[in-house]
Amino acid sequence: MSESLQDSAKLSPEKERSLFVQGLIDFWKQFRKNKPAIVGFLIVLFFILIAIFAKQIAPQGINDQNIAIRLQPPSAKHLLGTDDFGRDILSRIVFGAQLSLRVGFFAVIGSIIVGTFFGVIAGYFGKLIDTVISRFFDILLAFPSILLSIAIVTILGPSLNNALVAIAIVNVPVFGRLVRSRVLTVKEEEYIMAARSIGMGNTRIIMKHILPNSFAPIIVQGTLNIATAILDAAGLGFLGMGAQPPQPEWGTMLSESRQYITNAPWTVIFPGLAIILVVIGFNLMGDGLRDALDPRMKN
């Protein structure tokens, strides 16, 4: 009986690939119906391409100073103007995309890995383990994210990498609770009980059934949290706790230029617009991913 169940549960590699490809096609058909999500995807793709080809796009070096042209308004030579050191703002925003996206992606990836690990353990094994991990998540969530990030950076020291670590730690309970909730639901499904009945071990059940059926909400939440991570990094940079001058991080650029907001507003407007656009892009794309990956939204 157990052998027949195992044989019926197995799919050939060709069948698995076919189902995967069909799933991608169905996802894209659903995703492209959401026009705001497509706009968000194009915005995100635009900034990713800027970050990848920053050296080719930037007209000047990020730290090329010329005091003679400091605080010049946008012109044909300097499309977005210059800052108080005569540096080209466009070049610094282009290279700043690399820093902001790096923080966003790697902070969220770190949060997903650690949060998923603890969330799976808490949800699958339950009892005392679940209680301890859940209370730990509750403690972290009791603090406002930006304040907890500041506290962690204060301990580690101000830098972009330490800001990345702080943002990752702050977001761990978000993914941990999400995964725990999903695991609590999935582990009661009939196919999980069938897997246990044929002697499948806990590790194999988690890797083969629990995690694959928890990816959709993780992807959606991860996309939305990239926007949050970029905002947090900009906030820490603005407060002097994140990237340090002369790094062209957008929040740091805002902090350096805030005293010139009245007589040289372009020094503040363009870095601010970059932050706004990339955050809007990830939020719109995240909403579209949620609708496309949620079976209840198919209609």
Q: Is the pLDDT of residue 149 over 50?
A: yes
Contact assessment for residue 243 and residue 153, using Cβ atoms and an 8 Å cutoff: no
Summarised one tens digit per residue, pLDDT across range 174-186 is 999 999 998 988 8
Does residue 131 carry a pLDDT above 90? Answer: yes
- pLDDT in the model for residue 11: 55
Question: What separation in angstroms does the CA of 281 have from each of 28, 64, 142, 143, 222?
Answer: 18, 30, 28, 27, 14
- C-alpha to C-alpha distance for 169 and 115, rounded to whole angstroms: 9
On whether the CB atoms of residues 286 and 224 are closer than 8 A, the answer is yes
Q: 8: pLDDT confidence band, cut at 50, 70 and 90?
A: very low
Q: What tens digit of pLDDT does each residue of 158-169 get?
A: 999 999 999 999
The fraction of the chain above a pLDDT of 90, given in percent, is 60
Joined tokens for residue 74: 């946008």
Question: Tokens 């590699």 label which residue?
Answer: 13
Distance of CA 185 to CAs 23, 41, 70, 182, Å? 22, 31, 60, 5
Confidence of residue 6 (pLDDT cuts 50, 70, 90): very low
**Residues 6+ away with beta carbon under 8 Å from 121:** 129, 133
Structure tokens at 136: 């730990």
Taking phi over 0 as left and psi of -120 to 50 as alpha, with beta for the rest, 199 belongs to left
Quick one: pLDDT at residue 2?
41
pLDDT of residue 299: 45
User: What's the pLDDT score for residue 5?
Assistant: 42
Q: Which residue would you say has higher pLDDT here, 53 or 214?
A: 53
Taking CA atoms, 59 is separated from 63, 64, 175, 251, in Å, by 12, 11, 40, 21
- Looking at per-residue pLDDT, the higher value among 21 and 181 belongs to 181
According to DSSP, residue 82 is labeled B
**In CATH, what is the architecture of 34-297?**
Orthogonal Bundle (1.10)
- Assign 3-class secondary structure to 135-198: HHHHHHHCCCHHHHHHHHHHHHCCCHHHHHHHHHHHHHHHHHHHHHHHHHHHCCCHHHHHHHHC
